[in-house]
Structure 1
Amino acid sequence: MPETEPHHLSSSTEPPREPASLHRESADRRLPTDRVVFGVAAGLMVAFIAWGIISSDSLSSVASTVLDQVIAGGGWAFVLTASGFVVFALWLAFSSYGKVPLGRDDEEPEFRSISWIAMMFSAGMGIGLMFYGVGEPLSHFTSPPPATVEADTAEAFDVAMATTLFHWTLHPWAIYAVVGLTIAYGTFRKGRPQLISSAFIPLFGRRRAEGAFGRAVDILAIFATLFGSAASLGLGALQIGGGLTAGGFMDSVGTSLLVVIIVVLTIAFIASAVSGVSKGIQALSNVNMVLAGLLAVIVFIGGPTVLILDLIPTMIGDYFGNLSQMAARTAATGGDATETWLAGWTVFYWAWWISWAPFVGMFIARISRGRTIRQFVAGVILIPSSVSLLWFAVFGGAAISAQRSGTDLASKPIEGQLFGLLDTLPLGAVLGVIAMILVAIFFVSGADAASIVMGTLSQRGSIHPSRGVVIFWGAVMGAIAAIMLLVGGGEGDALSGIQNTTIIMAVPFMLVMVLMCVSLVKDLRNDPIVRRDRRVVEALEAAADYGRENYNDEFFMPVKPHPVDEDGEDGGPGTPAPAVRSDSEPEDAPGTPRG
């Protein structure tokens, strides 16, 4: 039997409890390092680095083989579960559970809304938007999904933008929301450690969740976070290198320079991470939003402004008009061509987002204290999705317009396509420098968030992990990215092996996330607010049944104070229902029929 927990939350009907500051102090205390989780995870990282150094070809071969089997045999599962997470998150927001706060009933949000949005946006997408903002719409325009439309046509334009939105809006953010919401509720509402394993206390009990099973889950979360972040760092270094080449600063960028870029930025994000969320990440994320907004405005004004404005409503209509078809696309509808396309795009993305969910979900949970479930879902899903819509409309629309006008951006490497677009605008070289700075800040803000999350997982859920642990994981993350670039020659098999490994990590986490949804619903059903609402409904239904049985429809129910116990809780199931009476009798009489 799962173990139960004492309820310690306040409500408007309860007597005053301890001040919120005391609750915060107990929740924010620094916990000791879990030697098993930290030791095993660190050992696995060292072994993996050794494997990459000794035999990168073997690493790439094994990862690619497993990846092909996962996509071929489990692509349908990714398609179903990703859409299922969207439905689940929206259902929570619109249901009666939506008003449940992620903290005490009277607790205010820890961060201002603008900083909250900026931090989760930087952590959740970051370098990806810079890397694929031009590349993905352009790719779908010149090579649309199989069995859809002809390439380089007006119809291909519509399909390209709708498909890009499908990959970057509701689905990825719903995946993050499931993990983030479960962790935030358990941490700030129930007082549990901020760990992936803590989400399973309602299902399996505290003993199992904190035992071998729970530790295995947390180790897997560290493993996925580390390699997912390292792959992203590699992409960021490649794009900065592409910017240096496109801007004419260097004829070519070799592996040694890419390693130097990673080392410098690793030092920067470690410095940011040890300064804490409220200082380092918040400041960097705010700078990110300003620079990204500035770059988007410049491209919007300097590019095809009217086309971009026309494109926004068209993208929304095409997205929702084709959503069911895009969400249901599997290899069964198009054979090998569709399977190959899915492996490179949709299934790849769903697996990539799921592999990142432990990191991004825990980080979003960390910064979402004091918000309700409805606010959380609206903020985590709808607002970043809207920003992604605007981002891809500006950069994707401008890139496809340039492609149709004769500028061959599609022939460039994907890391250089953004800079190719900026070169078509006035002051393109200056814009290229701004873009590289933006990529670097995304690199730092995303990586330092990941190092803090890994520190939290290593220290039994401590919201403020020790600097030593954060520095260790930050250094390991940068080392893996640098070593794999060095071994793989910058764009070789080693980096692909890391990317493939993060996708493989999505398989167990896909199952973990499904269980997290079940566990969260079970938890919410016993929330004090939900219990009170349920008792009100049960009392009203009981009173209505009593009235119908005794007086048909000739009755009404007065409102009276409800009995409470010594702890300030509502009376239990045995508490009498509200009195039912007619107009002709005293208020405390059982009632008689009218007329």
Structure 2
Amino acid sequence: MQLLFPACLISAVVLWGVLSPATLGSISHLAMAAITRNFGWLYLWVVLGLVLFSVFLALSRYGNLKLGKEDEEPAFSLPSWFAMLFAAGMGIGLVFWGVSEPLSHYAKPSPGILPLTPEAAGAAMRYSFFHWGVHPWAVYSIVALAIAFFLYRRDGVSLVSESTGALPWRPIQRMSGIFNGLAVIATAFGVAASLGMGALQINGGLSVVFGVPVSVPAQIVIIVVTAAIFIVSAISGVERGIKWLSSANMLLAAFLTLMVFVLGPTVTIIDTLTSTLGNYLTEFVRMSLRMTPFRDSEWVGEWTVFYWAWWISWSPFVGLFIARVSRGRTIREFVIGTVIAPSLAAFVWFSVFGGTALHMEIWQSLPMAQAVQENLSTALFTMLGQMPLGLIMSVIATVLVLVFFVTSGDSAILVLGMMSTGGQADPSSRIKIIWGVLVAGIAISLLLAGGLDALQTATIVFALPFALVVVLMAISLWRAIRDDWKEEQRIEREMRRRMRDLMSK
């Protein structure tokens, strides 16, 4: 296998987490604090720049360029394509944070807002939209578009380094191996941490439904079983396992959302979506560039900067996977499908689940915020337990987390296999099995070490250098799009000239 250095580094950090979790935790948190304090502004500017760039591409004349040959049709139907990119992008995170984040902001709001007030509830929903809406998907979209453009229009390979090919600077070309190594490291740690988070929530759901105790041994069994499932799914290929699992889970998520919408405070949910969307659009720029230079507050660093770094660290994984399933789309269709559509789905999700939880807290005096403070992973099930048909919905939610766990895992090992085999579109089953076992092993070792939070923080550290790689990818993409558009215009002019010459004879 290639990329030996990233594999060794990953193994060393995991071993460190097992042997001395306290030391790893303290050092990673110090590094995280230093990065958010000194480079928080960089994350905000980079992510906002990617948002503006994606909007420009969708609205500009370049939007008609196709990711592939002009006569190519999309490789997947629109529903299947959307289901796969959404499941890989943030499906498991939405289920985990759909209730927990709004209630967390309500209890401990951003600076200048009193906690446990109507203003805190409005701000909680607005920042949930902000953290899970256009900004993260713009990061994914530009990274994925850069990879897909060079893959399908320049006959490149599925590697992050390939998307910097239009840059004329020789030192950048010599750093391609470093770019790919950073992508592998970010992907491996990011996915392992998220799978650990998913195991915690599955354990919480099984505890509510079947009385399974919440414990590390139970979570290890969950990881082993689900790892076996997502390895089999990945081996069966994108066209079968990943496609069908993602599509089935989108239907299941829509069904659960509809149940909560109908059985919950329906009017409040609609009002929450309407009001929060207006506030989100009104406050878009201010939230995008908000720092606190004159206030002693860690809120922006702990939430917004943390999230932006987290999305950047996930972008090579999600970007490569989205590129893999997006052949035949135009740039305009690609951007709308990867930014606008999933953002709207996230807005609906938070309005339904977060809005219902806040309604219970404020109007029914149920201690939802306290439940979140006690255990983030069981907050969703605590809310569902207060509703009609709560047990049935808890079963559905547990299955939903399980399948999102699988779709995240199988798409992750597909991407890791692609990156570790020089960009092969369909790595061998042996490579997929190796990466599946490694990712599951990382997640298990972190749980054993009690270092899941520390490794989540360590993942963010790797996002800082990769943020600069993302900027280079965006510049390279712009140069390549501009050159291809000019070439197409030249060819079209030449064809028109020939037609005129033929008609004049």
What is the rounded CA distance, in whole Å, between the counterparts of 1:324 and 1:388 in structure 2? 19
Mapped partners of 1:248, 1:204: distance in 2: 60
SS in 1 for 2:111: coil
Structure 2 residue aligned with 1:279: 240
Match of 1:200 among 164, 183, 187: 164
Q: Which residue number in structure 2 is paired with residue 378 of structure 1?
A: 336
2:209 equivalent to 1:247: yes
The 8 Å contact of residues 455 and 473 in structure 1, kept in 2 or not, is answered as: yes
CA apart distance, 1:160: 1.4
- Deviation at residue 531 of structure 1 after TM alignment: 2.6
Counterpart contact for 2:88–2:411, Cα < 8 Å: yes
1:488-503 equivalence runs, <5 A: 488=450, 494-503=451-460
> Which deviates further from its counterpart, 241-250 or 313-322?
241-250
Consecutive unaligned residues in structure 2, runs of 5 or more = none
SS, match of residue 284 in structure 1: helix
Residue 497 of structure 2 aligns with which residue? 562
Q: How does 1:53-92 map to 2 (within 5 A)?
A: 53-92=18-57
> In the TM superposition, what is the alpha-carbon distance from 1:247 to its structure 2 partner?
3.4
1:94 aligns with 2:59: yes
**Would you say 1:354 and 2:312 are equivalent positions?**
yes
CA distance in 2, matches of 1:104, 1:397: 45
Q: Take 1:459 and 1:328, find their aligned partners in 2: how far apart are those partners?
A: 39
Q: 1-side partners of 2:491 and 2:214: how far apart?
A: 67
Per-residue deviation at 1:536?
Answer: 7.5
Residue 268, structure 1, aligned to residue 234, structure 2: no
Q: Distance in 1 between matches of 2:289 and 2:203?
A: 38
CA RMSD between the two structures: 2.0
1:456/1:463 contact within 8 Å kept: yes
CA shift at 1:151, angstroms?
2.5
CA distance in 2, matches of 1:477, 1:103: 32
Question: 2:296 matched to 1:336?
Answer: yes
Counterpart of 1:411, as a letter, is: Q
- Return the match for 1:393 from 323, 326, 351: 351
Asked if 1:289 is matched to 2:247, the reply is no
Check conservation: 2:18, 2:448, Cα contact below 8 A.
Answer: no
Amino acid at match of 1:409: M
Structure 2 length-normalised TM: 0.95
Q: Matches of residues 322-471 of structure 1 in structure 2 within 5 Å?
A: 322-332=283-293, 334-337=294-297, 340-404=298-362, 405-412=364-371, 413-471=375-433
Q: Distance in 2 between matches of 1:53 and 1:141?
A: 35
1:129 matched to 2:94? The reply is yes
Q: Which residue of 1 aligns with 2:149?
A: 185
Aligned match for 1:533, one of 466, 481, 489 = 489
Query: Does the alignment pair 1:120 with 2:85?
Result: yes
Post-superposition offset of 1:530: 3.2
Report SS of the residue matched to 2:245: helix
**1:379–1:242 Cα change, 3 Å:** same
Asked which structure has the greater CA Rg, the reply is 1
Contact 2:413 2:432 survives alignment (8 Å) = yes
Match of 1:571 in 2: none
Q: Is the 8 A contact 1:196 1:221 kept in 2?
A: yes
State the Cα distance separating 1:561 from its structure 2 match. Answer: 4.1
Q: For structure 1, which runs of at least 5 residues remain unmatched after alignment?
A: 1-34, 489-493, 540-559, 565-577, 580-586, 589-595
Cα distance in structure 2, aligned partners of 1:426 and 1:500: 38
TM-score (normalizing by structure 1): 0.81
Structure 1 residue 534: Cα displacement: 6.4
- Match of 1:258, as an amino acid? Q
- 1:416-472 CA-partner distances (Å, limit 9, x unpaired): 110011011112122111111110100000111010000000111111011111111
Distance 1:312 1:107 in 2: 38
Give 2:199's aligned residue.
237
Question: Quick one: distance in 2 between partners of 1:206 and 1:301?
Answer: 59
Amino acid in the other structure paired with 1:202: A
- 1:511 equivalent in structure 2: 468
Contact 2:2-2:421 at 8 Å conserved across structures: no
**In proportion to residue count, which structure has more helix?**
2
Contact kept? 2:273, 2:351, Cα under 8 Å: yes
CA contact (8 A) 2:2 2:422 kept: no
Q: Secondary structure at the residue paired with 1:126?
A: helix
CA contact (8 A) 1:123 1:446 kept: yes
Shift of 1:248: 5.6
The residue matched to 2:214 in structure 1 has which SS? Answer: coil
Question: How far apart are 1:49 and its partner, in Å?
Answer: 2.3
- The residue correspondences of 1:103-118 to structure 2 (distance < 5 A) are 103-118=68-83
Alignment match of 1:221 (pick from 183, 195, 198): 183
- Specify the SS of the correspondent of 1:97: helix
Give 2:440's match in structure 1, choosing from 478, 487, 506: 478
Alpha-carbon distance between aligned partners in 1 of 2:224 and 2:130, rounded to the nearest angstrom: 35
Give the letter for the 1:200 counterpart.
Answer: T
Percent of residue pairs bearing the same amino acid type: 42
On the 8 A contact 1:96/1:530 being kept in 2, the answer is no
How much has 1:205 moved relative to structure 2?
Answer: 7.3
**What SS does structure 1 have at the residue aligned with 2:497?**
coil
- Count residues in correspondence: 499
Q: Distance in 2 between matches of 1:206 and 1:524?
A: 20
Distance in structure 2 (CA, Å) of the matches to 1:498 and 1:142: 26
Displacement of 1:155 after TM fit?
A: 2.4
Amino acid at match of 2:219: L
Q: Which residue of 2 is the match for residue 304 of structure 1?
A: 265
Report 1 or 2 for greater relative contact order, CA contacts < 8 Å, sequence distance ≥ 6: 2
CA contact (8 A) 1:230 1:480 kept: yes
Q: Tell me the alpha carbon deviations over residues 301-341 of structure 1, each in whole angstroms, 9 at most, x when there is no partner.
A: 11001111122221211101111221121022x5222xx10
Partner SS, residue 189 of structure 2: helix
